[in-house]
Amino acid sequence: MPTATIKVSELAKRGGVTAETVRHYTREGLLAPTRHPDNGYQLYSVTDLERLHFIQRARKLGFSVAEIRDILAHADQGDSPCPLVRDLLANRLPQIRARIAELEALARRMEQALQSWQEMPDGTPDGHSLCRLIESFPEEAQCIAKPSSHKR
pLDDT tens readout for residues 85-124 = 999 999 999 999 999 999 999 999 889 888 888 887 776 6
Point out the domain boundary residue: 79, 113, 131.
79
**Looking at the predicted structure, is the pLDDT value of residue 68 above 50?**
yes
Same domain, residue pair 14 and 66: yes
Q: CA 44, CA 8: separation in Å to the nearest integer?
A: 7
Same domain, residue pair 42 and 106: no
- pLDDT above 90: percentage of residues in the chain: 63
3-state DSSP call for residue 43? strand
* Residue 94, CA distances (Å) to 91, 107, 151 in order: 7, 20, 9
Domain assignment of residue 118, yes or no: yes
CATH number of the domain to which 32 belongs: 1.10.1660.10
Say which residue, 60 or 142, is predicted with more confidence. Answer: 60
Domain assignment of residue 92, yes or no: no
Q: How many domains does the chain have?
A: 2
> How many degrees, rounded to 5, is the angle at CA 62 between CA 58 and CA 67?
65
Give me the helices (H) in the chain, please. Answer: 8-15, 19-27, 46-60, 65-76, 82-117, 132-136, 139-149
Report the candidate in 38, 37, 39, 41 with the shortest Cα–Cα distance to residue 26.
Answer: 41
pTM over 0.75, yes/no: no
| Torsions phi, psi for 34 (to 5 deg) | -95, 170
Domain hosting residue 114, numbered range:
98-149
Report the pLDDT averaged over residues 41-65.
95
pLDDT of residue 27: 95
pLDDT band at 3 (very low <50, low <70, confident <90, very high): low
Report the pLDDT averaged over residues 121-130.
70
CA 18 and chain centroid, separation: 16
> How many degrees, rounded to 5, is the angle at CA 88 between CA 86 and CA 70?
100
